[in-house]
Chain A
Amino acid sequence: MLAIKNLTASVDGKEILKGVDLQVEAGELHAIMGPNGSGKSTLAHILAGRDGYSVTGGEVRYLGEDLLQLEVEERARQGLFLAMQYPVELPGVNNMSFLRESMNALRRARGEPEIDTLSFMKQVKEKARQVKLDEKLLKRSVNAGFSGGEKKRNEILQMAMLEPKLAILDETDSGLDIDALRTVADGVNRLRTAERGMLVVTHYQRLLDYIQPDKVHVLADGRIVRSGGKELALELEARGYGWLLEEAAA
Chain B
Amino acid sequence: MILSPSDYKRGTLQGIESLPMSSGDWMIDRRLAALERFETLGFPDRRSEAWRYTSVEGLLKQGFTAPAKSSQRDRDDGIQNHLLEIATLGRLVFIDGQFIEEHSVYPSEGVRVTSLKTAMATGDRQVLEAVGSLSGLGDDGFAALNLAGFQDGAVIRIAPDVRLDGPMELLHLSTDRVEGHKLPTRHLILLERGSQAELIERFISEDQQSSYFNHQVVEISLAEQATLSHKRIQMESRQAYHLSDLHIALQSKAAYYGVMAAIGGCWSRTFISNRFQQPDAHCELDGLYLVDDGQLTDFHLDIDHQLANCSSRENFKGILRGAGKAVFDGLIQVGKGAQKSEAHLHNANLMLSRQAEVDTKPQLTILADDVICSHGTSVGQLDDQAIFYLRSRGLDEQRARALLCQGFLAEIIEKFEHQALIELLNRRMNFVGLTEPETNHESLG
Q: Which residues of A contact B (CB under 8 A)?
A: 48-51, 71-73, 75-77, 81-82, 84, 87-88, 90-93, 98, 101-102, 105-106, 109, 141, 158, 162
Distance between Cα atoms of A224 and B397 in the complex (Å): 33
B27 within 8 A of A: no
Closest to A102 in B: B393
**A82 lies within 8 A of B392 (CB):** yes
B383, CB-defined interface residue at 8 Å: yes
Majority SS at the chain B contact face? helix
- Choose the segment among B52-60, B252-260, B403-411 that binds chain A (4+ C-beta atoms closer than 8 Å): B403-411
The smallest beta-carbon distance between B390 and chain A, in angstroms, is: 7
Contacts of B394 in A (CB 8 A): 73, 76-77, 102, 105-106, 109, 162
Given A84-B392, A90-B390, 6 other A-B contacts at CB below 8 A? Answer: A90-B403, A92-B408, A93-B404, A93-B407, A98-B390, A98-B403
Q: For residue B367, which residues in chain A have a CB less than 8 angstroms away from its CB?
A: none
Of residues A84, A92, A109, A141, which shows the largest number of chain B Cβ atoms within 10 Å of its Cβ? A92
Can you report 5 residue pairs joining A to B where beta carbons are below 8 Å apart? A90-B404, A92-B406, A92-B410, A98-B403, A102-B394
The answer to the question of B396 belonging to the interface, with a C-beta cut-off of 8 Å to chain A, is yes
Q: Which of chain B's residues have a CB closer than 8 A to the CB of A49?
A: 391-392
A105 to chain B minimum Cβ distance, whole angstroms, is 4
Q: Per-position contact with A for B381-418: 1 when CB-CB < 8 Å, else 0? A: 00111101111111111010001101111110000000
Given A102-B393, A105-B394, A93:B388 Cβ within 8 A: no
Chain B residue numbers with a CB within 8 Å of A73 are: 391-392, 394-397
- Separation of A42 and B391 alpha carbons in the complex (Å): 18
Partner among A76, A90, A91 whose Cβ is within 8 Å of the Cβ of B392: A76
Chain B residues in 8 Å Cβ range of A51: 384, 388
Complex CA gap A90/B395 in Å reads 14
- Complex Cα spacing A91 to B391, Å: 16
In this complex, the interface size class of chain B, counting residues with CB under 8 Å from chain A, is: 20 to 34
Query: Which of B389, B395, B403 lies in contact with A88, CB distance below 8 A?
Result: B389
Q: Please give the residue numbers on chain B whose beta carbons come within 8 Å of chain A beta carbons, in ascending order.
A: 383-386, 388-397, 399, 403-404, 406-411
**Is the beta-carbon distance between A92 and B391 smaller than 8 angstroms?**
no
A92 touches B393 (CB 8 A): no
Known contacts: A50-B388, A51-B384, A88-B383. The answer to whether A158 contacts B393 by CB under 8 A is yes
In the complex, what residue of chain A is closest to B400 when comparing beta carbons?
A: A73
- Check if A92 sits within 8 Å of B411, measured CB to CB: yes
Task: Output the least CB separation between A11 and chain B (Å).
Answer: 14
Chain A residue contacts of B411, Cβ below 8 A? 91-92
Q: Which residue, A49, A51, A72, A141, has most C-beta atoms of chain B within 10 A?
A: A72
The residues of A that contact B385 with a CB separation of less than 8 Å are: 88
Chain A residues within 8 Å of B408, by CB: 91-92
What's the minimum C-beta distance from B344 to chain A, rounded to whole angstroms?
18
What residues of chain A lie closer than 8 Å to B409, measured between beta carbons?
92
A-B pairs with lowest CB-CB distance, top 4? A92-B407, A92-B410, A105-B394, A102-B393
Contact residues in A for B395 (Cβ distance below 8 Å): 73, 101-102, 105
> For the complex, what is the distance from the CA of A105 to the CA of B385, rounded to whole Å?
20
Complex Cα–Cα for A58 and B411 (A): 46
| Docked CA distance A104–B393 (Å) | 10
Please indicate the chain B residues that have their CB under 8 angstroms from the CB of A93 in the complex. 390, 403-404, 406-407, 410
What residue in chain B is nearest A99 (Cβ atoms)? B393
Measured CB to CB, the closest approach of chain B to A12, in angstroms, equals 15
Chain B's nearest CB lies how many Å from the CB of A98? 7
